[in-house]
Structures are given as C-alpha cells and as structure tokens.
C-alpha cells in the first residue's frame, strides 16, 4: 500500500515538473493564463451560474491541455529530428493548429457565455439621460 502512494506521489511530481517546464518555456501559455484570469474575474463580476462556470473551466482546461500536448510534440520532434525535416515541421504545425482550434473555440464560448450578461451589466451602468 505504501508503494502505491509513493508511486502516485512520484507521478504528481513528474506532472508538475512538466507543468513548470511549459510555464518556463512557452510564452503563449502565459497569454492564455492572463486571458483565463480576466475571464474568471469577469465571471465572478457577472455572477455566472454554475453550468456556465463548468463550461468555462472545461474550455480553459482544453486550451491549456492543447498547449501542453503541443509542447510535448515539439520537444519530442526536436529530439527525434534535430535537423530540419519536412515531416517534423508538419508535426509541429499540426500541434500548433490544435492549439489554435482550442483557442478559437474558447473565444467563441467566452463570447456566448460572457457576452449577453456583460452587455446587460454595462448597459445597467450607464445613467439614464
């Protein structure tokens, strides 16, 4: 039983090491992080319902997961093909496209979930003339 828990702890250590590697080496992850914080602050201000929060959290996780997988693809291809190779380039481009698709989906979801309540909140702040 003790070895089971120790192996789980080691798995978490590996995962956090990977997380920190991505945070240290990938600028776009920081951009995604800043945007996620802004979205979360807006969501709190707008008092979004739990279902909207679930979608926002899942969407943010999707974008970060795509970034992590893309970084994994890039470093693996750099190891396997240190010289420029057309297939390695395609692999990297496809990984980047996955991040783009997830980021575009996140933007659309953000607009759909935050747009209407944000619009109503902003309209309510304008004094009647």
Q: Check 39, 56, 67, 113 and give the catalytic one.
A: 67
Instruction: Please give the distance of CA 72 from its chain centroid, rounded to a whole number.
Output: 15
**If DSSP states are collapsed to H, E and C, what string results for 3-61?**
HHHHHHHHHHHHHHHHHHHHHHHCHHHHHHHHHHHHHHHHHHHHCCCHHHHHHHHHHHH
Q: Is 67 a catalytic residue?
A: yes
* Residue for token pair 């920081």: 30
Q: Report how far residue 58's alpha carbon sits from residue 43's, in angstroms, rounded to the nearest whole number.
A: 14
Nearest to 72 by CA among 109, 31, 17, 12: 17
Structure tokens at 129: 């003339």
Q: Which residue numbers are catalytic?
A: 67
């Amino acid at each position: 039983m003790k070895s089971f828990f120790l192996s789980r702890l080691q798995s978490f250590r590996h995962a956090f090491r990977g997380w920190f590697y991505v945070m240290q080496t990938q600028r776009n992850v920081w951009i995604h992080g800043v945007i996620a914080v802004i979205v979360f602050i807006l969501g709190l201000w707008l008092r979004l319902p739990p279902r909207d929060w679930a979608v926002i959290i899942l969407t943010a996780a999707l974008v970060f997961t795509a970034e992590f997988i893309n970084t994994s693809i890039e470093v693996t291809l750099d190891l396997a093909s240190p010289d420029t190779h057309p297939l390695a380039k395609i692999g990297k481009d496809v990984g980047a496209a996955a991040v783009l698709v997830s980021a575009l989906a996140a933007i659309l979801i953000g607009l759909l979930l935050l747009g209407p309540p944000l619009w109503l909140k902003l309209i309510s702040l304008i004094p009647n003339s």
